[in-house]
Amino acid sequence: MRVRQLTAAAAALLLAAGLGGCSDDPAPGRTPAPAPAPASADPTATTGDVRPADRTDVRGGGTLRWAVDGVPTTLNVYQGTATADSALLAHALYPSLFRPDEHGRLVPDPDYLAGAESTPPGQQPQVVTYRLNPHAVWSDGTPLSAADLAAQRAALSGLDPSYRGAHPAGYEAIDSVARGEDPHEVRVTFRRPYAEWRSLFGPLYPAAETGTPDTFDRALTDGGHPSAGPYTVSRYDAAGGRVTVTRNPLWWGDVPKTDRIDFLAVPAEQRLDALDQDRLDIALLTAAVDRAAPQPTASAPAPGASAPAAAPPAAAPEASASALRRAESLPGVTVHRAAAASLTQLTVNAARGPLTDPAVRRALARAVDRRRIADAALTPLGLPAAPLGNHLLAGDQEGYRDNSVAVGPQDAARLLDAAGWKRSAGRGTRTKDGKQLALTLLVPAGSAIAKRTADALTADLAESGIALKPVTAPAETFVRDHLSVGDYDLALFSWPAGPGPVGEQRPAYAKPRPGPDGALDAGTNYGRSGTEEIDRLFDRASAEPDPAARLDLLQEADVRIWQLGHSVPLYQRPELVGVREGVAGAGAFGYGWPRFQDVGWTGS
């Protein structure tokens, strides 16, 4: 489950946090789409790197120590204060009717779902019939039922403003939820067709926690709340930085291999030490490597000096490289690598300065060498330099296609010349009407990946006569003070990418509309450009039941986004995870998430 919410907590899903995270112009004439590549994942992309083991090779018992950034203030992932750690724990504690495979395809989870079927395409209304696993019960003994799905729909549909929190796509399309022919059958009727219905009810919370605004809005913590996963909460210690989960005595599926999992709050900068000192078994290391603090080095004392002088600290990329070398050399620890389910892009503010001209935005897209950027960002981390060519699908996602040729055959220089931005003797920064083509680039502070990317982007654009000045901002103000108010020219950050690309990605590209005060409301379309045609393509894809036809509509929408010059996809954000020797079923999950009942220790 990946809910797009850019609250302060969800800003942690941006590149800044390095974690492993919602026009009146006439429609342009149809441009032939580029020749399609095979509808398969990019062979250079990494779909996941998890230490495999057959359940029979994993011994029962023991404790696992798993690093988190902090004890979540809630386990309800749909609340505004939810974090990536909320989602991680939710996978151990709460049902998801479907779960993504390594290519982002949603498949039924038999622990919770015996079957699910939608009415045939074209039959109205659309009705999805779920067969819940008859053995599935909440930790208080109450069976999972239609009441749970109905309460969650009421809380997330947006129909009742008393419920505070996220409104994930799809719930507003539901007309009713009712019991079927027996207590284990649930019939969900949609008021309009919704193709990505498999993305709903994951995670699913009990009606006791979502049935009223008061229960939904309260913090969901500690062990006093019903859950229905292989584990239950036995200790929730925010002050001590620990959440302990133990085997659920009512669990009906495969017996969890590990007796207990301690989720320990360990800041990123302390995780390498904790692994080295045998205080952790599993730790996401992306931020520990990417944001490693430069260390001053001692220099020789000056003549007559009694103590050595401190040399300037090393550059962030050098500190990051040193941290990665240390991670790789930790005894008894393996660093797993994967491309995360997160799309790093260069977003272009179409409401500012020269970027209001679509021709300049397209020229900028042509000027960016995406393979060079991916090489600069990913190769130092030991990942393939796989550039992205799609705004809506990741390279390891089914149906991925590089649509970048939609920008057009003209190179950046010709596009900029035609737009009136000239270069003296073919050198230097371009000018028009006495003004230079100089732009700012907003990047996350303290990130070595962002710095390498910014340096490569600066060099790329300089070759085309565009001057770029990187400006850093900390994670806590990146969205609030810059993206939301349009205080930037170009911005470098990542969007989470999930198995429901139509509903999840649309908010980033929806045409800004006038708000109550008459001013344009961009929402989470931080590029501030959009068209009616792109919106219609998303609408059609949302209602298209045929997967192949839905992918065709997504490809067409992506082509239009490229032609609009909204943003430039760059690469999937890297995911680095340290796992202690002997731990099976853990690593860098990519699109997937842990099957907690299989994670455990091998050997005697």
Instruction: Spell out the residues 6+ positions from residue 144 whose beta carbon is closer than 8 angstroms to its own.
Output: 95, 112, 132, 133, 136, 137, 138, 204, 228
**Nearest-CA neighbor of 337 among 386, 395, 381, 402?**
381
Confidence check: pLDDT of 181 > 60: yes
Distance between CA atoms of residues 446 and 290, nearest Å: 8
Which range among 221-225, 244-248, 451-455, 538-542 shows the weakest confidence by mean pLDDT?
221-225
Confidence check: pLDDT of 581 > 90: yes
The DSSP symbol for 215 reads: H
> In this structure, which amino acid lies at residue 600?
G
Q: What is the pLDDT of residues 558-567, one digit of tens each?
A: 999 999 999 9
Which range among 194-198, 477-481, 494-498, 556-560 shows the weakest confidence by mean pLDDT?
494-498
What number of CA atoms fall less than 13 Å from residue 130's CA on the CB side?
31
- Torsion 53-54-59-60 (CA) sign: positive
The pLDDT mean for the chain works out to 89
**Residue 604's pLDDT is what?**
63
Mean pLDDT to the nearest integer, 280-287: 98
Distance between CA atoms of residues 519 and 512, nearest Å: 10
At 449 the three-state DSSP class reads helix
- Cis omega (within 30 of 0) for bond into 125: yes
Confidence check: pLDDT of 455 > 90: yes
Q: Label residue 46 by pLDDT band (50, 70, 90).
A: very low
Q: Label residue 315 by pLDDT band (50, 70, 90).
A: low
Q: What is the total residue count of the chain?
A: 604
**Nearest-CA neighbor of 16 among 528, 454, 579, 499?**
454
Q: What secondary structure does DSSP assign to 334-347, as a single string?
A: EEEEEEEEEEEEEE
Residue with tokens 């962030």: 316
Confidence check: pLDDT of 32 > 60: no
Q: Answer whether 564's CB lies under 8 Å from 332's CB.
A: no
> Which CATH number is 341-573's, of 3.40.50.2300, 3.40.50.720, 3.10.105.10, 1.20.140.10?
3.10.105.10
Per-residue tokens: 23: 């026009």
Confidence check: pLDDT of 62 > 80: yes
Distance between CA atoms of residues 367 and 465, nearest Å: 10
At 159 the three-state DSSP class reads coil
Q: Answer whether 375's CB lies under 8 Å from 383's CB.
A: no
Confidence check: pLDDT of 313 > 90: no
Distance between CA atoms of residues 28 and 124, nearest Å: 32
Q: What is the pLDDT of residues 268-279, one digit of tens each?
A: 999 999 999 999
**Angle, CA 237 vertex, CA 233 and CA 242 arms, to 5°:** 80
Residue with tokens 């220099």: 299
Q: What is the pLDDT of residues 133-180, one digit of tens each?
A: 999 999 999 999 999 999 999 999 999 999 998 889 999 999 999 999
Per-residue tokens: 117: 């079927």
Bridge partners, residue 445, by sequence: none
Bridge partners, residue 587, by sequence: 50
Distance between CA atoms of residues 495 and 485, nearest Å: 18
**Residue 555's pLDDT is what?**
97
Residue with tokens 């990942």: 383
Residue with tokens 């797993």: 336
Question: pTM value?
Answer: 0.89
Confidence check: pLDDT of 20 > 80: no
Mean pLDDT to the nearest integer, 580-594: 94
